Structure 1
Amino acid sequence: MRNLLLSTIALAAFTISPAAAQETATPEKPALDIGGGGRPVGEAWSRSPVHAQHGIAATAHPLASQIAIDILKQGGTAVDAAIAANAALGLMEPTGNGIGGDLFAIIWDPKTQRLYGLNGSGKSPMGTSYRQFIRQLNGSKTIPPFGPMPITVPGTVDAWFEMHGKFGKLSMADILAPTIAYAREGHPVAPVIGYYLDSNLKRFEQSLDMIGDFENARETYFKNGAPKAGEIFKNPDLGDTLGKIAAGGRDAFYKGDIARTIDSYFKRIGGNLRYEDFAAHSSLWVEPGCVDYRKGYELCELPPNSQGFAALQMANILKNVDLAQWPRGSAEVLHYITEAKRLAFEDVARFYADPEASPAPLEWLLSDDYGKQRFALIDPAKATPGFGPGEPKLEGEGDTTYLTVADKDGMMVSLIQSNYRGMGSGLVADGLGFMFQDRGELYSLDAGHPNAYAPGKRPFQTIIPAFMKKDGKPYMSFGLMGGGMQPQGHVQVMINMVDYGMNLQEAGDAARLNHDGGRQPTDDLAGTGADLLGILHVEPGISAETIERLKAMGHVVEVVDNGAMFGGYQAITRDAETGVYTGATEMRKDGQAIGY
């Protein structure tokens, strides 16, 4: 009877979480009755969201969430608290982020009643031309994922100071103090992060020839192997680096001793970045784009070079069909979501790049008419073998941490930060205590592609924060980690809430799909070699019946029982009438939502 009930829930609501995966029957894996508790309210597979009146934080680590709340209680703004939490996560969750990576944020400012977008991504070395870069690849047709080649200027620290200069109250010394203390005194490793530390070390050790210099990284993170859950981890070098930033501001990182140490390090190991690249860096304030979905809800994302507008394109396509006419876990709903993703990502691969080098036709891509044109390409009965990008009418394309914080005044911060590929490049500069990102792996090597490598250029970025409005008012600050999963995840959470009435916690705990494949921003313009149909990955909560129907429709479906590839969700909503906040996080990470 219990197995029948679980199967019914999965089919009706697309809601079984990874935690319940072992209880869900598949043809290859019989159902097991392992028992479990019950809930007096809400779905049995989820837990309660968190409600608070004065402030709230949702991050991927409980200690980071606590730090954010402490900053709010000291009188800091949501931006102050978000910076403090991000700094803590760089120490406590180095498998997903750190000051060697980039940052994007969307901020709702209650004073001006508007959204602000920040692009804190860095550029490629100014002194390395396309021809030089190609020669350095020694005949390889792809950019290596590790070592010095894919490293671009880290933008996180500058982004902190940009946000703080516009919206901060407390000093940066006060904001960074908790993380500096934890770096020097230590903190216990969280379970999921311990799992990722082990997997990152194994991946690095398989790529030592590519990395070159791994000794600094081993000394910083893996002196006695991968730290295990509950083990006390210290990083005094990072504490010292953050101390210099707290005292000397962003220039300490980009123009001071830290930048000179980095310059010397890359000269020693044969990397391309130089002091001048750091000194020239700056973040960009950008205008978020929003599209109406339905029922008064608007989804808002950041423009390229990030992939945020892919979520908007998916929403523009899917609003042309009433998904609620089918159960949430039905083959019809999963089919439409998958095909909308595939259509949107064709445009991501063709148009999304550094806007300063290759502006994309954004107004056209987000138009209702174009959304209708793309929706018309979806066959409701079967998967289309291959889509192509749209043809604009013109004159003349992870591993991450996401966090969100809101304060007593109504400011809401949606922030995402990443090194890419887990911990990043495998390289740590002498005595600095952080690993450099490998975002430069995401350039195309096709010289004619908008996302082609060029000196002093930002690569395509996967990390995207999200925001939703309801009836024109700020409603939800949210995000979801994990490469190409992110726009898909944003849309699935929105659908869960808007079309199927799930609460904030349930919307994130619900089983997800992750379509992988199709053309990529790293391909050549022709998409040579691309797997156009791709693979539809689903979590075990999707019923066996739905999976078989999707296969019959032509999808290649794989059930994945490890939640790693389905992202990690955090969210905060605000009641426009009462001002009460609701926060949520999920079981796929170690995180916690805390309010006061």
Structure 2
Amino acid sequence: MSLFKIAFSVCAICMATCLPLLNPSPCEAEVDLKRDALGEKGMVAAATPQASEIGVEILKKGGNAVDAAVAVGFALGVLEPNASGLGGGGFMMIHLAKTNKTVFLDFREKAPQKAKADMYELGGNDLPLNNANKLGALSVAVPGEVAGLLTALGQYGVMSRQEVMAPAIKRAKQGVKVTPVMAGLMTKYYDTLLSCPSTASIYLDEELPKMPGDTIKNPDLAKTLELISQKGRDAFYKGPLAQKIVEFMKKQGGIISLEDLADYRVRQRQPVKGTYRGYEILSAAPPSSGGTHVIELLNIMENSDLKKMGPDNPLTWHLWAEAMKLVYADRARYSGDADFAKVPLNGLLSKAYAGELFKRIDRKKTAEKPEPGDPWKYESASTTHYSVMDSQGNMVAVTKTLNFFFGSGLTVPGTGILLNDEMADFDFKPGQANSIAPGKRPLSSMSPTLILKDGKSVACLGSPGGKRIITTVALIISNLLDHGMDLQAAINAPRICQYHQGPLKFEKRLPKDVQEKLRQMGHELEEKGAYDLYFGGAQGVSFDRKAAGLHGAADPRRDGRALGF
């Protein structure tokens, strides 16, 4: 790289932190808060406006909510490649209104057969050397996205692969314009993109971060999508394309084999179920910890009269923070892939257990580091999200990911496929519920969630954001059901997150008097931006039975927008 390029690169990185234009989290004055839409026949809320347009196109052509969700899923891998794609995986919640059936599809990535609990060499800080679980070939788990989306289409859709994949192929051929949010992420993850020549050739411009308005061109991805549309899942998991993935992995020091790809299977699981203020809550089951702990958090908070207290009451935020601590302590202790580890699922979902945890909260001061509870005695027997609903009340909520933005940084040459770094979601030490094992799916916080009332569709929602997904989804549900906000207001509202240790992270829009009162209660506060990408990018759709209409809403913290007709 020339001295000029080096200097320009340094300037670009500086600009990303200094200029609002390139900052992934928008400043308060720049935020477009009106991301919602109304419709009667169909609604899509996705992480980019173009993806929402594609979903609406499919609905207008006679597709159902699942067809639209699959089309949006493939399109987002093109339009928002930093967050998800063919090299990743995810979860899908489907509610079929006619039969009142709810399905949870788990197409989470899984560890290769050669993976071991102690596969990473640890350094002096007791962490994997060279971030090997986050970057490069040993961070890659077996992808599940293609299998997941095509399974949903085959079982619950009414359109063909060619019909639902055509919009994604078209956008891949045309190229994608870089948004300010994406430009900021490209600069922030510059080293990741630069680490692999086949990745740099797509997402960098002569080894420099792309700027807003530039175009990402990935013709190889268009060819890969065309191949999948013609030949189905076997085009990805078997044959020449699978061979390319495996050969590249081997060359890079990875361990994914042809057998790993050929043996990948989507799991259809029972969603976790709970209630909140008389509404039914259905969400993702293990290996996601998300749905379980969303319901656990809501169960704890149901013991307080949040409606009477109001959303700006310091006590309201204090109770949320203390409940979050208890939930994250339980998550760290008990959660893992239930196919490999015993998870006290019924205990964690128990209202009696939540009541016991609520009694541990001191209403006047914060607990320093709460210990996990004992749910066993109550036991019996980076990322994107989008939501789709049609006029029949069918709902689909999908959260899918590459894990960290731009995943492992590795793009398989000649395919355009950017690979995940999901091995980072395992505990890298043996003996834990979430330790690495061959064929195991890593713990996730993804929480695509459905809300029903008396068996009728009310809303579908979810968010990216790592472990913050749990708190984001719970806060939005509370804003809807406790404070009577519409869906866009519920998504726009300030957010906090409090892990079981460390500072309480909050958006600086939280009222100053609330901040001061929380400090007096002993909370250590860490301020984030007004609408901070740290807290995800929720997308949702609700059904207003009085108006007989659909309301879609998208998060101003990302590029999303809802569209309906």
User: Shared fold by TM > 0.5?
Assistant: yes
Partner of 1:357: 340
Alpha-carbon distance between aligned partners in 2 of 1:262 and 1:90, rounded to the nearest angstrom: 17
Residues 262-321 of structure 1: CA distance to partner in whole angstroms, max 9, x if unpaired?
111111111111111111101111111221111x22322111111221111000100011
Q: How big is the shift at 1:203?
A: 5.2
1:465–1:479 Cα contact (<8 Å) kept: yes
Alpha-carbon distance between aligned partners in 1 of 2:548 and 2:152, rounded to the nearest angstrom: 24
Alignment of 1:360-379 (within 5 A): 360-379=343-362
Partner of 2:489: 506
Partner of 1:382: 365
Q: 3-state DSSP class of the match of 2:377?
A: coil
Partner of residue 540 from structure 2, selected from 571, 578, 585: 571
Residues 1:216 and 2:201 aligned together: no
Q: How big is the shift at 1:568?
A: 0.7
Gaps of 5+ in 1: 1-17, 23-33, 37-44, 209-213, 519-531
Alpha-carbon distance between aligned partners in 1 of 2:254 and 2:27, rounded to the nearest angstrom: 46
Alpha-carbon distance between aligned partners in 2 of 1:496 and 1:111, rounded to the nearest angstrom: 29
Alignment of 1:123-142 (within 5 A): 123-131=110-118, 133-134=119-120, 136=121, 141-142=126-127
Partner of residue 297 from structure 1, selected from 270, 274, 279: 279
Partner of residue 503 from structure 2, selected from 518, 535, 549: 535
**One-letter code aligned to 1:440:** M
Partner of 2:178: 189
Q: 3-state DSSP class of the match of 1:87?
A: helix
1:182–1:234 Cα contact (<8 Å) kept: no
Q: How big is the shift at 1:127?
A: 2.1
Alignment of 1:203-282 (within 5 A): 204-205=193-194, 208=195, 214-224=196-206, 225-282=208-265
Partner of residue 289 from structure 2, selected from 307, 313, 322: 307
Q: How big is the shift at 1:140?
A: 7.0
Change (3 A) 1:155 1:449: same
Alignment of 1:406-555 (within 5 A): 406-515=389-498, 517-518=499-500, 532=501, 534-555=502-523
Alpha-carbon distance between aligned partners in 2 of 1:406 and 1:461, rounded to the nearest angstrom: 25
Q: How big is the shift at 1:198?
A: 2.1
Alpha-carbon distance between aligned partners in 2 of 1:437 and 1:386, rounded to the nearest angstrom: 33
Change (3 A) 1:48 1:243: closer
Q: 3-state DSSP class of the match of 1:380?
A: coil
Partner of 2:377: 393
Alpha-carbon distance between aligned partners in 2 of 1:428 and 1:139, rounded to the nearest angstrom: 30
Q: How big is the shift at 1:489?
A: 0.6
Q: How big is the shift at 1:69?
A: 0.8
Partner of 1:147: 136
Residues 1:159 and 2:127 aligned together: no
Alpha-carbon distance between aligned partners in 1 of 2:123 and 2:476, rounded to the nearest angstrom: 43
1:141–1:445 Cα contact (<8 Å) kept: no
2:46–2:561 Cα contact (<8 Å) kept: yes
Which segment drifts farther, 402-411 or 487-496? 402-411
**One-letter code aligned to 1:58:** A
Alpha-carbon distance between aligned partners in 1 of 2:281 and 2:86, rounded to the nearest angstrom: 29
Alpha-carbon distance between aligned partners in 1 of 2:514 and 2:27, rounded to the nearest angstrom: 17
Aligned-CA RMSD value: 2.1
Q: 3-state DSSP class of the match of 1:477?
A: strand
Alignment of 1:34-183 (within 5 A): 46-47=33-34, 49-131=36-118, 133-134=119-120, 136=121, 141-143=126-128, 144=131, 145-183=134-172
Q: 3-state DSSP class of the match of 1:500?
A: coil
Q: How big is the shift at 1:48?
A: 7.3
Residues 162-199 of structure 1: CA distance to partner in whole angstroms, max 9, x if unpaired?
10111111111111111111111223222222222222
Partner of 2:188: 199
Alpha-carbon distance between aligned partners in 2 of 1:200 and 1:48, rounded to the nearest angstrom: 27
Residues 103-124 of structure 1: CA distance to partner in whole angstroms, max 9, x if unpaired?
1011111232121111111211
Alpha-carbon distance between aligned partners in 2 of 1:560 and 1:130, rounded to the nearest angstrom: 35
**One-letter code aligned to 2:552:** G
1:307–1:461 Cα contact (<8 Å) kept: yes
Which segment drifts farther, 241-250 or 324-333? 324-333
Q: 3-state DSSP class of the match of 2:412?
A: coil
Change (3 A) 1:591 1:395: closer
Change (3 A) 1:581 1:394: closer
Q: 3-state DSSP class of the match of 2:418?
A: coil
Residues 1:343 and 2:330 aligned together: no
Q: 3-state DSSP class of the match of 1:393?
A: helix
Alpha-carbon distance between aligned partners in 1 of 2:548 and 2:308, rounded to the nearest angstrom: 33
Alpha-carbon distance between aligned partners in 2 of 1:161 and 1:203, rounded to the nearest angstrom: 30
Which segment drifts farther, 399-408 or 246-255? 399-408
Q: 3-state DSSP class of the match of 2:462?
A: strand
TM-score after normalising by structure 2: 0.90
Identity of aligned residues (%): 33
Q: 3-state DSSP class of the match of 1:572?
A: strand
2:97–2:457 Cα contact (<8 Å) kept: no
**One-letter code aligned to 1:569:** A
Q: 3-state DSSP class of the match of 2:505?
A: strand
Q: How big is the shift at 1:138?
A: 6.9
1:54–1:407 Cα contact (<8 Å) kept: yes
**One-letter code aligned to 2:510:** I
Residues 73-104 of structure 1: CA distance to partner in whole angstroms, max 9, x if unpaired?
11111111111111111111112111111110
Alpha-carbon distance between aligned partners in 1 of 2:557 and 2:205, rounded to the nearest angstrom: 27
Partner of 2:12: none
**One-letter code aligned to 1:558:** E
Alpha-carbon distance between aligned partners in 2 of 1:197 and 1:436, rounded to the nearest angstrom: 16
Partner of 1:557: 525
Partner of 2:558: 589
Residues 491-517 of structure 1: CA distance to partner in whole angstroms, max 9, x if unpaired?
1111111111111111111111122x4
